[in-house]
Amino acid sequence: MWHGRFKHDTAKIVQDFTQSLDIDWRMYEADIQGSIAHVKMLGKTGLLSPDEAAKIESGLHQVLAEIQEGRFTPSVSLEDVHMNIESRLTEIEPLGAKLHTARSRNDQVATTTRLYLRSRLQSLSNDLHELLSVLVDNAQRHVNVIIPGYTHMQQAQPISMGHYWLSWFEAFRRDEDRLKFALSSMTDCPLGAGALAGTTLPIDRGMTSELLGFSRPTRNSLASVASRGYMLDYHHFASTFMIHISRLCTDLITWNSQEFAFIVLPDEFCTGSSMMPQKKNPDVLELARGKTGQVIGNMIDLLVNMKGLPMTYNRDLQEDKRGLWSSLDTVEAVIRVITALLAKVDVDEEKALAGFGKGYSLATDIAEFLVMKGTPFREAHAIVGRLVAWCIERDMAFADLTPEQWREHGIDESVMEILSVRESVKRRDVYGGTGFAQVEKQIADARERL
Protein backbone atom coordinates (compact mmCIF):
# COMPACT_ATOMS: atom_id res chain seq x y z
CA MET A 1 0.00 0.00 0.00
CA TRP A 2 1.13 3.58 -0.72
CA HIS A 3 4.35 2.38 -2.31
CA GLY A 4 4.62 4.89 -5.11
CA ARG A 5 8.23 5.84 -5.66
CA PHE A 6 9.71 3.25 -3.28
CA LYS A 7 11.08 -0.04 -4.53
CA HIS A 8 11.44 -1.48 -1.03
CA ASP A 9 9.34 -1.65 2.07
CA THR A 10 10.49 0.45 4.99
CA ALA A 11 12.89 -1.59 7.12
CA LYS A 12 11.31 -3.09 10.22
CA ILE A 13 13.72 -1.23 12.47
CA VAL A 14 12.68 2.02 10.78
CA GLN A 15 8.98 1.22 11.05
CA ASP A 16 9.38 0.65 14.75
CA PHE A 17 11.35 3.84 15.14
CA THR A 18 9.06 6.07 13.12
CA GLN A 19 5.65 4.74 14.10
CA SER A 20 3.43 6.93 16.23
CA LEU A 21 0.72 4.37 16.80
CA ASP A 22 1.61 3.94 20.45
CA ILE A 23 0.97 7.64 20.98
CA ASP A 24 -1.83 8.48 18.61
CA TRP A 25 -4.03 5.40 18.81
CA ARG A 26 -6.02 6.91 21.64
CA MET A 27 -7.33 9.54 19.18
CA TYR A 28 -9.11 6.98 16.97
CA GLU A 29 -12.57 8.34 17.68
CA ALA A 30 -11.62 11.94 16.92
CA ASP A 31 -9.85 10.79 13.78
CA ILE A 32 -12.94 8.98 12.52
CA GLN A 33 -15.09 11.96 13.44
CA GLY A 34 -12.82 14.16 11.30
CA SER A 35 -12.93 11.69 8.41
CA ILE A 36 -16.71 11.54 8.51
CA ALA A 37 -16.94 15.33 8.24
CA HIS A 38 -14.40 15.26 5.42
CA VAL A 39 -16.30 12.63 3.48
CA LYS A 40 -19.61 14.42 3.91
CA MET A 41 -17.95 17.52 2.50
CA LEU A 42 -16.49 15.58 -0.45
CA GLY A 43 -20.00 14.28 -1.15
CA LYS A 44 -21.45 17.76 -1.06
CA THR A 45 -18.91 19.39 -3.37
CA GLY A 46 -19.11 16.60 -5.94
CA LEU A 47 -15.63 15.16 -5.39
CA LEU A 48 -17.54 12.03 -4.39
CA SER A 49 -21.00 11.01 -5.51
CA PRO A 50 -23.60 11.02 -2.72
CA ASP A 51 -23.66 7.24 -2.90
CA GLU A 52 -19.85 6.96 -2.60
CA ALA A 53 -19.82 9.34 0.32
CA ALA A 54 -22.55 7.38 2.09
CA LYS A 55 -20.69 4.10 1.60
CA ILE A 56 -17.42 5.49 2.92
CA GLU A 57 -19.18 7.03 5.88
CA SER A 58 -20.85 3.78 6.78
CA GLY A 59 -17.49 2.01 6.42
CA LEU A 60 -16.01 4.48 8.88
CA HIS A 61 -18.80 3.77 11.35
CA GLN A 62 -18.01 0.10 11.02
CA VAL A 63 -14.31 0.68 11.72
CA LEU A 64 -15.26 2.66 14.81
CA ALA A 65 -17.53 -0.14 16.02
CA GLU A 66 -14.78 -2.72 15.43
CA ILE A 67 -12.31 -0.68 17.45
CA GLN A 68 -14.77 -0.05 20.26
CA GLU A 69 -15.65 -3.74 20.44
CA GLY A 70 -12.00 -4.71 20.46
CA ARG A 71 -12.28 -6.51 17.12
CA PHE A 72 -9.62 -4.50 15.32
CA THR A 73 -5.96 -4.53 16.21
CA PRO A 74 -3.90 -1.81 14.55
CA SER A 75 -0.44 -2.51 13.22
CA VAL A 76 2.72 -0.44 13.60
CA SER A 77 3.62 -1.27 10.01
CA LEU A 78 0.91 1.28 9.14
CA GLU A 79 2.67 3.92 11.22
CA ASP A 80 -0.18 5.71 12.91
CA VAL A 81 -3.85 5.83 13.83
CA HIS A 82 -4.71 7.66 10.60
CA MET A 83 -3.27 5.08 8.20
CA ASN A 84 -4.57 2.18 10.25
CA ILE A 85 -8.10 3.48 10.07
CA GLU A 86 -7.89 4.32 6.38
CA SER A 87 -6.43 0.92 5.58
CA ARG A 88 -9.10 -0.97 7.53
CA LEU A 89 -11.78 1.17 5.92
CA THR A 90 -10.48 0.28 2.47
CA GLU A 91 -10.54 -3.43 3.32
CA ILE A 92 -14.19 -3.10 4.32
CA GLU A 93 -15.10 -0.72 1.51
CA PRO A 94 -12.76 -0.36 -1.50
CA LEU A 95 -14.12 3.16 -2.04
CA GLY A 96 -12.09 4.02 1.08
CA ALA A 97 -9.28 4.69 -1.43
CA LYS A 98 -11.08 7.99 -2.12
CA LEU A 99 -11.20 9.15 1.50
CA HIS A 100 -7.86 10.91 1.45
CA THR A 101 -8.87 13.12 -1.50
CA ALA A 102 -7.87 16.75 -0.84
CA ARG A 103 -6.36 15.86 2.50
CA SER A 104 -2.89 15.26 3.91
CA ARG A 105 -1.96 13.62 7.14
CA ASN A 106 -0.55 16.97 8.11
CA ASP A 107 -3.91 18.73 8.25
CA GLN A 108 -5.49 15.51 9.44
CA VAL A 109 -3.14 15.19 12.42
CA ALA A 110 -3.70 18.85 13.27
CA THR A 111 -7.47 18.44 13.12
CA THR A 112 -7.63 15.15 14.98
CA THR A 113 -5.39 16.39 17.75
CA ARG A 114 -7.43 19.54 18.24
CA LEU A 115 -10.65 17.56 18.38
CA TYR A 116 -9.23 15.15 20.92
CA LEU A 117 -7.60 17.84 23.02
CA ARG A 118 -10.71 19.99 22.95
CA SER A 119 -12.82 17.25 24.44
CA ARG A 120 -10.20 16.46 27.11
CA LEU A 121 -9.98 20.13 28.04
CA GLN A 122 -13.74 20.44 28.29
CA SER A 123 -13.73 17.56 30.71
CA LEU A 124 -10.80 19.07 32.65
CA SER A 125 -12.71 22.29 32.85
CA ASN A 126 -15.57 20.46 34.61
CA ASP A 127 -13.11 18.88 37.03
CA LEU A 128 -11.56 22.25 37.74
CA HIS A 129 -14.97 23.71 38.40
CA GLU A 130 -15.56 20.97 40.96
CA LEU A 131 -12.26 21.82 42.67
CA LEU A 132 -13.27 25.48 42.82
CA SER A 133 -16.59 24.70 44.39
CA VAL A 134 -15.00 22.45 47.02
CA LEU A 135 -12.65 25.30 47.92
CA VAL A 136 -15.58 27.64 48.42
CA ASP A 137 -17.35 25.02 50.53
CA ASN A 138 -14.22 24.64 52.62
CA ALA A 139 -14.01 28.41 53.02
CA GLN A 140 -17.57 28.38 54.31
CA ARG A 141 -16.87 25.49 56.71
CA HIS A 142 -13.80 27.25 58.08
CA VAL A 143 -14.63 30.97 58.01
CA ASN A 144 -14.45 31.21 61.79
CA VAL A 145 -11.46 28.94 62.22
CA ILE A 146 -8.27 30.83 62.98
CA ILE A 147 -4.78 29.72 62.00
CA PRO A 148 -1.44 31.52 61.99
CA GLY A 149 -0.65 33.10 58.63
CA TYR A 150 2.97 32.89 57.49
CA THR A 151 5.46 34.83 55.43
CA HIS A 152 9.00 33.40 55.18
CA MET A 153 7.54 30.52 57.22
CA GLN A 154 7.57 32.97 60.13
CA GLN A 155 4.36 33.50 62.02
CA ALA A 156 3.03 36.74 60.60
CA GLN A 157 -0.60 37.47 61.46
CA PRO A 158 -3.63 35.41 62.39
CA ILE A 159 -5.93 34.59 59.49
CA SER A 160 -9.23 32.92 58.89
CA MET A 161 -8.82 29.42 57.47
CA GLY A 162 -11.69 30.34 55.14
CA HIS A 163 -9.51 33.13 53.82
CA TYR A 164 -6.73 30.64 53.21
CA TRP A 165 -9.00 28.37 51.13
CA LEU A 166 -10.17 31.36 49.12
CA SER A 167 -6.58 32.24 48.29
CA TRP A 168 -6.44 28.96 46.39
CA PHE A 169 -9.83 29.64 44.89
CA GLU A 170 -8.32 32.79 43.35
CA ALA A 171 -5.28 30.97 42.03
CA PHE A 172 -7.26 28.14 40.47
CA ARG A 173 -9.83 30.59 39.11
CA ARG A 174 -7.04 32.24 37.13
CA ASP A 175 -6.00 28.79 35.98
CA GLU A 176 -9.51 28.36 34.68
CA ASP A 177 -8.97 31.46 32.52
CA ARG A 178 -5.75 29.93 31.21
CA LEU A 179 -7.59 26.71 30.40
CA LYS A 180 -10.29 28.66 28.58
CA PHE A 181 -7.61 30.54 26.70
CA ALA A 182 -6.08 27.24 25.59
CA LEU A 183 -9.53 26.17 24.37
CA SER A 184 -9.94 29.47 22.55
CA SER A 185 -6.71 28.87 20.64
CA MET A 186 -8.25 25.74 19.15
CA THR A 187 -11.40 27.21 17.69
CA ASP A 188 -10.20 27.23 14.07
CA CYS A 189 -10.29 24.14 11.88
CA PRO A 190 -7.06 23.19 10.03
CA LEU A 191 -8.74 20.59 7.81
CA GLY A 192 -8.31 21.55 4.14
CA ALA A 193 -4.86 23.03 4.65
CA GLY A 194 -3.59 19.87 3.00
CA ALA A 195 0.10 19.10 3.31
CA LEU A 196 0.84 22.82 3.64
CA ALA A 197 -0.52 24.82 0.71
CA GLY A 198 -4.18 23.86 0.40
CA THR A 199 -5.49 21.91 -2.59
CA THR A 200 -6.40 22.41 -6.25
CA LEU A 201 -9.57 20.42 -5.64
CA PRO A 202 -12.88 22.16 -4.95
CA ILE A 203 -13.46 21.69 -1.22
CA ASP A 204 -15.63 23.51 1.29
CA ARG A 205 -13.58 24.24 4.39
CA GLY A 206 -16.42 26.12 6.01
CA MET A 207 -18.55 23.01 5.91
CA THR A 208 -16.02 20.70 7.59
CA SER A 209 -15.23 23.35 10.14
CA GLU A 210 -18.89 23.67 11.05
CA LEU A 211 -19.54 19.93 11.09
CA LEU A 212 -16.69 19.47 13.56
CA GLY A 213 -17.87 22.24 15.86
CA PHE A 214 -15.08 24.74 15.09
CA SER A 215 -15.84 28.44 14.70
CA ARG A 216 -14.16 28.84 11.32
CA PRO A 217 -11.43 27.39 9.08
CA THR A 218 -7.85 28.37 9.95
CA ARG A 219 -6.71 31.43 8.02
CA ASN A 220 -3.31 30.24 6.82
CA SER A 221 -2.64 26.76 5.50
CA LEU A 222 1.08 26.85 6.38
CA ALA A 223 0.43 27.82 9.97
CA SER A 224 -2.34 25.22 10.14
CA VAL A 225 0.07 22.32 9.79
CA ALA A 226 3.08 23.91 11.50
CA SER A 227 1.52 25.40 14.60
CA ARG A 228 1.53 23.76 18.00
CA GLY A 229 0.96 26.99 19.89
CA TYR A 230 -2.41 25.73 21.09
CA MET A 231 -0.62 22.85 22.82
CA LEU A 232 1.77 25.28 24.47
CA ASP A 233 -1.24 27.22 25.73
CA TYR A 234 -2.51 24.04 27.34
CA HIS A 235 0.95 23.31 28.79
CA HIS A 236 1.04 26.78 30.26
CA PHE A 237 -2.24 26.15 31.99
CA ALA A 238 -1.11 22.71 33.14
CA SER A 239 2.24 23.88 34.50
CA THR A 240 0.77 26.84 36.34
CA PHE A 241 -2.01 24.69 37.72
CA MET A 242 0.45 22.07 38.97
CA ILE A 243 2.63 24.70 40.60
CA HIS A 244 -0.42 25.88 42.49
CA ILE A 245 -1.28 22.33 43.47
CA SER A 246 2.27 21.73 44.55
CA ARG A 247 2.36 24.74 46.84
CA LEU A 248 -1.02 23.86 48.32
CA CYS A 249 0.28 20.35 48.97
CA THR A 250 3.34 21.69 50.75
CA ASP A 251 1.14 23.68 53.14
CA LEU A 252 -1.03 20.70 53.90
CA ILE A 253 1.95 18.38 54.30
CA THR A 254 3.50 20.84 56.74
CA TRP A 255 0.28 21.29 58.67
CA ASN A 256 -0.21 17.55 58.82
CA SER A 257 3.12 17.14 60.63
CA GLN A 258 3.11 16.40 64.37
CA GLU A 259 4.82 19.74 64.99
CA PHE A 260 1.98 21.73 63.42
CA ALA A 261 -0.95 19.29 63.46
CA PHE A 262 -3.34 22.05 62.37
CA ILE A 263 -5.17 19.88 59.92
CA VAL A 264 -6.62 16.42 59.97
CA LEU A 265 -6.31 14.50 56.74
CA PRO A 266 -8.91 11.85 56.01
CA ASP A 267 -7.54 8.37 56.79
CA GLU A 268 -8.63 7.09 53.38
CA PHE A 269 -6.19 9.49 51.75
CA CYS A 270 -3.16 8.59 53.84
CA THR A 271 -0.95 5.56 54.10
CA GLY A 272 0.97 3.91 56.90
CA SER A 273 4.62 3.10 57.09
CA SER A 274 5.80 -0.48 56.64
CA MET A 275 8.09 -0.07 59.65
CA MET A 276 6.86 2.74 61.88
CA PRO A 277 3.36 2.07 63.14
CA GLN A 278 2.71 5.61 64.35
CA LYS A 279 2.87 7.24 60.95
CA LYS A 280 0.06 8.69 58.84
CA ASN A 281 1.79 9.71 55.65
CA PRO A 282 0.31 12.32 53.30
CA ASP A 283 1.33 10.35 50.20
CA VAL A 284 -1.39 11.74 47.96
CA LEU A 285 -0.16 15.27 48.60
CA GLU A 286 3.47 14.32 48.17
CA LEU A 287 2.77 12.51 44.91
CA ALA A 288 0.74 15.38 43.51
CA ARG A 289 3.65 17.67 44.36
CA GLY A 290 6.09 15.14 42.94
CA LYS A 291 4.28 14.92 39.62
CA THR A 292 4.59 18.64 39.05
CA GLY A 293 8.05 18.29 37.56
CA GLN A 294 6.80 15.94 34.86
CA VAL A 295 4.12 18.38 33.81
CA ILE A 296 6.57 21.27 33.64
CA GLY A 297 9.04 19.00 31.86
CA ASN A 298 6.43 18.17 29.24
CA MET A 299 6.05 21.84 28.46
CA ILE A 300 9.80 22.30 28.17
CA ASP A 301 9.95 19.21 25.95
CA LEU A 302 7.60 20.76 23.42
CA LEU A 303 9.23 24.19 23.59
CA VAL A 304 12.61 22.68 22.84
CA ASN A 305 11.19 20.44 20.13
CA MET A 306 9.72 23.42 18.29
CA LYS A 307 12.56 25.84 18.85
CA GLY A 308 14.53 25.40 15.63
CA LEU A 309 11.86 23.99 13.32
CA PRO A 310 11.43 25.54 9.90
CA MET A 311 8.01 26.32 8.54
CA THR A 312 5.99 24.04 8.14
CA TYR A 313 5.40 20.43 9.22
CA ASN A 314 8.45 18.46 10.30
CA ARG A 315 8.41 14.95 11.58
CA ASP A 316 9.80 16.17 14.89
CA LEU A 317 6.25 17.31 15.56
CA GLN A 318 5.11 13.72 15.84
CA GLU A 319 6.73 13.81 19.28
CA ASP A 320 4.37 16.60 20.40
CA LYS A 321 1.74 14.30 21.83
CA ARG A 322 3.71 12.07 24.16
CA GLY A 323 4.17 14.79 26.75
CA LEU A 324 0.74 16.17 26.06
CA TRP A 325 -0.94 12.92 27.06
CA SER A 326 1.30 12.50 30.06
CA SER A 327 0.38 15.95 31.21
CA LEU A 328 -3.34 15.59 30.50
CA ASP A 329 -3.54 12.30 32.36
CA THR A 330 -1.55 13.64 35.29
CA VAL A 331 -3.51 16.87 35.63
CA GLU A 332 -6.80 15.01 35.41
CA ALA A 333 -5.81 12.47 38.06
CA VAL A 334 -4.38 15.16 40.33
CA ILE A 335 -7.43 17.43 40.13
CA ARG A 336 -9.75 14.57 40.93
CA VAL A 337 -7.86 13.13 43.86
CA ILE A 338 -6.99 16.49 45.39
CA THR A 339 -10.60 17.65 45.09
CA ALA A 340 -11.78 14.51 46.86
CA LEU A 341 -9.17 14.95 49.58
CA LEU A 342 -9.91 18.64 50.13
CA ALA A 343 -13.59 17.96 50.60
CA LYS A 344 -12.64 15.91 53.66
CA VAL A 345 -9.83 17.93 55.20
CA ASP A 346 -10.55 19.17 58.68
CA VAL A 347 -8.88 21.68 60.92
CA ASP A 348 -7.95 20.96 64.51
CA GLU A 349 -8.92 24.36 65.84
CA GLU A 350 -7.32 23.89 69.24
CA LYS A 351 -3.99 22.82 67.81
CA ALA A 352 -4.11 25.68 65.33
CA LEU A 353 -4.69 28.11 68.19
CA ALA A 354 -1.99 26.46 70.29
CA GLY A 355 0.26 27.00 67.29
CA PHE A 356 0.33 30.70 68.04
CA GLY A 357 2.31 30.02 71.21
CA LYS A 358 4.11 33.17 72.18
CA GLY A 359 4.48 33.83 68.46
CA TYR A 360 3.85 37.55 68.88
CA SER A 361 1.69 37.51 65.76
CA LEU A 362 -0.36 40.34 67.27
CA ALA A 363 2.60 42.72 67.13
CA THR A 364 1.25 44.53 64.08
CA ASP A 365 -2.09 44.96 65.82
CA ILE A 366 -0.34 46.78 68.66
CA ALA A 367 1.58 48.99 66.25
CA GLU A 368 -1.67 49.85 64.45
CA PHE A 369 -3.30 50.56 67.82
CA LEU A 370 -0.56 53.15 68.43
CA VAL A 371 -1.05 54.59 64.95
CA MET A 372 -4.71 55.15 65.77
CA LYS A 373 -3.58 57.04 68.87
CA GLY A 374 -1.48 59.32 66.67
CA THR A 375 1.98 57.68 66.78
CA PRO A 376 3.75 57.69 63.39
CA PHE A 377 3.94 54.12 62.10
CA ARG A 378 7.76 53.89 62.05
CA GLU A 379 7.86 54.94 65.68
CA ALA A 380 5.10 52.51 66.59
CA HIS A 381 7.02 49.75 64.79
CA ALA A 382 10.12 50.48 66.89
CA ILE A 383 8.15 50.61 70.16
CA VAL A 384 6.55 47.25 69.52
CA GLY A 385 9.84 45.83 68.31
CA ARG A 386 11.46 46.73 71.65
CA LEU A 387 8.48 45.24 73.47
CA VAL A 388 8.85 41.95 71.57
CA ALA A 389 12.56 41.77 72.41
CA TRP A 390 11.74 42.48 76.07
CA CYS A 391 9.11 39.71 76.10
CA ILE A 392 11.41 37.20 74.40
CA GLU A 393 14.11 37.83 77.02
CA ARG A 394 11.63 37.04 79.78
CA ASP A 395 9.84 34.29 77.89
CA MET A 396 6.60 36.22 78.29
CA ALA A 397 3.57 36.46 76.03
CA PHE A 398 1.81 39.79 75.41
CA ALA A 399 -1.07 38.48 77.52
CA ASP A 400 1.25 38.18 80.53
CA LEU A 401 1.96 41.92 80.71
CA THR A 402 0.47 43.95 83.56
CA PRO A 403 -1.15 47.34 82.86
CA GLU A 404 1.95 49.01 84.36
CA GLN A 405 4.26 47.08 82.09
CA TRP A 406 2.24 48.20 79.07
CA ARG A 407 2.51 51.81 80.19
CA GLU A 408 6.24 51.43 80.82
CA HIS A 409 6.55 50.51 77.15
CA GLY A 410 4.67 53.64 76.14
CA ILE A 411 1.48 51.73 75.26
CA ASP A 412 -1.92 52.44 76.80
CA GLU A 413 -3.13 49.33 78.64
CA SER A 414 -6.48 49.51 76.83
CA VAL A 415 -4.57 47.72 74.05
CA MET A 416 -5.34 44.53 75.98
CA GLU A 417 -8.94 44.70 74.75
CA ILE A 418 -7.87 44.03 71.20
CA LEU A 419 -5.18 41.47 71.97
CA SER A 420 -6.76 38.21 70.92
CA VAL A 421 -6.32 36.37 67.65
CA ARG A 422 -10.08 36.44 67.11
CA GLU A 423 -10.22 40.19 67.57
CA SER A 424 -7.20 40.56 65.33
CA VAL A 425 -8.82 38.67 62.46
CA LYS A 426 -12.16 40.38 62.95
CA ARG A 427 -10.58 43.83 62.83
CA ARG A 428 -8.87 43.21 59.48
CA ASP A 429 -12.10 44.34 57.97
CA VAL A 430 -10.64 45.66 54.74
CA TYR A 431 -11.73 44.73 51.23
CA GLY A 432 -9.95 41.46 50.37
CA GLY A 433 -8.71 41.09 53.94
CA THR A 434 -9.10 38.25 56.39
CA GLY A 435 -11.82 39.81 58.61
CA PHE A 436 -14.64 37.29 59.11
CA ALA A 437 -17.22 39.61 57.56
CA GLN A 438 -14.95 40.18 54.58
CA VAL A 439 -14.40 36.47 54.11
CA GLU A 440 -18.17 35.94 54.15
CA LYS A 441 -18.48 38.55 51.41
CA GLN A 442 -15.67 36.92 49.43
CA ILE A 443 -17.43 33.58 49.71
CA ALA A 444 -20.65 35.06 48.35
CA ASP A 445 -18.69 36.71 45.58
CA ALA A 446 -16.86 33.46 44.77
CA ARG A 447 -20.15 31.55 44.58
CA GLU A 448 -21.47 34.10 42.16
CA ARG A 449 -18.39 33.80 39.97
CA LEU A 450 -18.62 30.02 39.89
Active site residue 381: no
Residue among 2 and 377 whose Cβ is closer to ligand ARG: 2
Q: Which of 168, 313, 369, 398 binds ligand ARG (CB under 6 A)?
A: 313
Q: Are strands 188-189 and 216-217 parallel, antiparallel or unpaired?
A: parallel
Interface with ligand ARG includes 318 (CB under 6 A)?
yes
Helix axes 28-45, 105-141, angle to 10 degrees: 130
Residue among 235 and 428 whose Cβ is closer to ligand ARG: 235
End-to-end Cα, the chain, rounded Å: 53
| CB 420 within 8 Å of CB 399 | no
As measured in angstroms, the least distance from the Cβ of 426 to ligand ARG is: 60
Interface with ligand ARG includes 317 (CB under 6 A)?
yes
Q: Which of 273, 326, 409, 414 is catalytic?
A: 273
Active site residue 133: no
CA distances from 186 to 72, 182, 367, 388 (A): 31, 7, 53, 57
Interface with ligand ARG includes 344 (CB under 6 A)?
no
| CB 40 within 8 Å of CB 211 | yes
Q: Which of 38, 152, 224, 239 is catalytic?
A: 152
As measured in angstroms, the least distance from the Cβ of 101 to ligand ARG is: 17
DSSP letters, 43-59, are HHHTSS-HHHHHHHHHH
| Amino acid in the structure at residue 146 | I
| Amino acid in the structure at residue 402 | T
Residue among 109 and 211 whose Cβ is closer to ligand ARG: 109
CA distance 269 to 430: 37
Stretch of 163-171, 258-266, 315-323, 331-339 contacting ligand ARG, by CB under 6 A: 315-323
Residue among 66 and 319 whose Cβ is closer to ligand ARG: 319
Rounded to the nearest 5 percent, the helix, strand and coil shares of the chain are 65, 5, 30
CA distance 234 to 171: 16
Among residue numbers 27 through 86, which ones bind ligand ARG (CB under 6 A)? 79-80
Among residue numbers 75 through 114, which ones bind ligand ARG (CB under 6 A)? 79-80, 105-106, 109
Stretch of 59-67, 117-125, 312-320, 340-348 contacting ligand ARG, by CB under 6 A: 312-320
Interface with ligand ARG includes 24 (CB under 6 A)?
yes
Catalytic residues: 152, 273
Q: Which residues bind ligand ARG (CB under 6 A)?
A: 20, 24, 79-80, 105-106, 109, 313, 315, 317-318
